[in-house]
């Protein structure tokens, strides 16, 4: 069963409750080390239980289903509107079993960027540069790292869900992933 969160009427408390539930689901039944829950080893997780699905809905009632790998908390892809999208592999020699995800959807070709910060920054650079041209913040210029230029918060999460749902361009999807990964997995 998927974990669910909506940005509609979200408050800091509902977000915190959601993050606590996400952490609990990722580590349920797992041992702790110095009081900190430990993610499971991949050898201990069957393919069918390898991913935590998270349904995210924005204020416009657009929903995406995110897939998070339970062995490392990495986001590997998402489904929306009958299609599934997957990040390029972070570790090509140790691929997660994404074949079990999102049956019944049309699998779109793998995105050009992976889920590392450098991969996401490279993927989102075009849209961030375009947005920077319209924003005259004196503290941000072309030397400011891409990830630093991407604000985080409830409204940005709301927009990120919409960007992934619409899937207009890969740079916009990369921007959506940056916000979602930093606000959920980090």
Beta bridge mates, 5: 56
**Which among 125, 126, 142, 186 is annotated as catalytic?**
186
> Checking DSSP bridges between strand 51-57 and strand 63-69, what pairing results, if any?
antiparallel
Does residue 89 have an active-site annotation?
no
Beta bridge mates, 66: 54, 78
Look at residues 51, 29, 54, 33 and name the one whose alpha carbon lies nearest to residue 42. 51
Look at residues 77, 80, 59, 19 and name the one whose alpha carbon lies nearest to residue 156. 59
28: left (phi over 0), alpha (psi -120 to 50) or beta: beta
Residues with catalytic function: 186
């Amino acid at each position: 069963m998927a974990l669910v969160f909506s940005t509609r009427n979200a408050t800091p408390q509902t977000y915190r409750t959601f993050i606590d539930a996400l952490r609990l689901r990722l580590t349920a039944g797992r041992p702790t080390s110095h009081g900190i829950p430990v993610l499971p080893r991949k050898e201990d997780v069957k393919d069918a239980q390898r991913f935590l699905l998270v349904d995210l809905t924005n204020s416009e009632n657009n929903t995406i289903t995110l897939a998070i790998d339970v062995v490392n908390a990495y986001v590997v892809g998402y489904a929306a509107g009958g299609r599934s999208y997957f990040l390029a592999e972070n570790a090509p020699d140790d691929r997660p079993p994404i074949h079990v995800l999102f049956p019944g959807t049309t699998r779109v070709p793998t995105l050009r960027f992976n889920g590392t910060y450098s991969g996401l920054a490279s993927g989102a650079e075009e849209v961030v540069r375009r947005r920077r041209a319209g924003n005259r913040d004196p503290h941000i210029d072309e030397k400011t790292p891409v990830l630093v230029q991407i604000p985080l918060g409830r409204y940005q999460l709301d927009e990120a869900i919409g960007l992934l749902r619409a899937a207009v361009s890969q740079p916009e999807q990369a921007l959506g992933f940056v916000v979602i990964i930093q606000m959920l997995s980090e």
